[in-house]
Amino acid sequence: MPLDTSAYNLALLRVDGRRWNELRRVHAQIRTQAAADGSSYLEMGHTKVMCVVTGPSEPGPRRGGAGAGGGGGSGGKDAEVAVSIVIAGFSSVDRKRHGKGDKRTLELQSTVSNALSASLHTHLFPHSQINISLHVLSQDGSLLAALINAATLACVDAGIPMTDYVAACTAGSTSTYAANDEAADPLLDLNHQEEQELPGLTVATLGNSDRVAVLVCESRVQVGRLEGMLAVGVDGCKQMREILDRVVREKGQRMIQEGTVERGVGLNDMDVD
């Protein structure tokens, strides 16, 4: 078994060899499923998620409890962002099955829905529904952040107008709550082991601004350390936005080269050289 997170102070290295302010490797693709309106695949380290977006479309018959509503009901003047998350049994080490009504899953659904509703121009599509369907293939920490990022990419791919990217990541702190170490370093992008052992939070910002769209903190941490964690987290979100942006641009470029899309059709604001 490798060392635990308490070894950080020996050489300022985290359990997987990263420094305090480094993201894990992020790999992302869009338009992974041609048949869908929008789709994406995203890896943050070993956390792997897939996303498919359909809509905006007329809301189908309501299925009990499956979608978490956001941004008003489907009958309202804004489109409803319905998120459903399926966590594969094989995604985590303990291979626990997550039912659809699982409390944690429901909470994730509603958080993702609220985050995306903040950026999507739902008022353009009254009386309709945007379905975001997320599949978790592998879990290694920062799950919520990965879900938000994948959903953002898929929405971009679906061509739904939005203010800007919603980019998310996690931040933590190198010492536990009980150790109460004022000088603890903040950490960027927690993996599973760090999430288990250390305090952490998930933050998402809107585009290039410092506007926080999501802030979730489920662990106990001293207020004094929160500011540093948040600053690192927001900085991580900016890096994440760059990565997402690059993925979108590269895909667009390739599509033009391959002739899938004509230059200038719907992409006039994109720099292609």
Partner 1 sequence: MASLKRSLDSDPFAANISSKVYVRSTKRGKVQKIVREVYLRQDIPCSSKLCQSCLRSAPTDAAGRSTPFVLSEAPAGTSVYQQGHYLVPDTNAFLTAMDLFEQSAAFYDVVVLQVVLEELRNRSLPLYNRLINLTKSEDKRFYVFFNEFRLETHVARQEGESVNDRNDRAVRKAVAWYAQHLARTGAEKVPAVVMLTNDRDNLRKAKLEDIPACSLADYVRQLKDGDKLLDMIPETQDQDVVKERRPGDLLYPEYFSMSKMMTGVKGGLLHQGTFNVSPYNYLEGSIRVPAFPKALLILGRENINRAIDGDLVVVEVLPKDQWKEPSTQVIEEDAITKNENPDAGENEALVSERERKALQEEVRRTHGKTTEGHAQPTAKVVGVIKRNWRQYVGHIDQSSVSQSAQQGRKQDTVFVIPMDRKIPKIRLRTRQVAELVGKRILVTIDAWDRGSRHPSGHFVRSLGELETKAAETEALLLEYDVQYRPFPKTVLDCLPKEGHDWKVPQSLDDPGWRDREDLRGLLICSIDPIGCQDIDDALHSRPLPNGNVEVGVHIADVSHFVRPNNAMDNEASIRGTTVYLVDKRIDMLPMLLGTDLCSLKPHVERYAFSVIWEMSPDADVVNVRFTKSVIKSREAFSYEQAQLRVDDGSQQDDLTKSIRALLGLSKKLKQKRLDAGALSLSSPEVKVQMESETSDPIDVKTKELLDTMSLVEEFMLLANTSVARKIHEAFPQTAILRRHGAPPKTNFDELADQLRVKRGLDLSVESSRALADSLDACVDPSEPFFNTLVRIMATRCMMAAEYFCSGTQAYPEFRHYGLASEIYTHFTSPIRRYADLAAHRQLAAAIGYETVDPSVRSRGRLEAVCKNINVRHRNAQLAGRASIAYYVGQALRGKATEEDGFVMKIFSNGFVVLVPRFGIESLIRLRDLAEPEPQAEFDAETYTLETSGSRAVKVELFQKVRVHVTDQKDETTGKRGVKMELVKVC
Residue ranges that bind partner 1, judged by CB under 8 A = 1-3, 7, 10-13, 15-22, 24-25, 27, 29, 31-34, 41, 45-46, 93-94, 140, 177-181, 183, 185-186, 191, 193, 220, 222, 228, 232
The SS3 assignment for 153 reads helix
Strands 129-138 and 80-87: parallel
> From the CB of 178, what's the least distance to partner 1, in Å?
4
> From the CB of 12, what's the least distance to partner 1, in Å?
5
Residue type for 127, please?
Answer: H
Q: Pick the closer one to partner 1 by CB: 127 or 238.
A: 238
> From the CB of 210, what's the least distance to partner 1, in Å?
19
Q: Pick the closer one to partner 1 by CB: 1 or 265.
A: 1
Q: Pick the closer one to partner 1 by CB: 209 or 257.
A: 257
Strands laid side by side in the 200-206 sheet: 186-188, 166-173, 200-206, 212-216
> From the CB of 73, what's the least distance to partner 1, in Å?
35
Q: Pick the closer one to partner 1 by CB: 193 or 253.
A: 193
Q: How many residues does the structure list for the chain?
A: 273
Q: What CA–CA distance (Å, rounded) separates 74 from 57?
A: 10
Contact 44/24 with Cβ under 8 angstroms? yes
Strands 212-216 and 200-206: antiparallel
Check residue 23 and report its DSSP letter: P
Q: Pick the closer one to partner 1 by CB: 8 or 125.
A: 8
Q: Residue 186: is the preceding peptide bond cis (ω within 30°)?
A: no
> From the CB of 15, what's the least distance to partner 1, in Å?
8
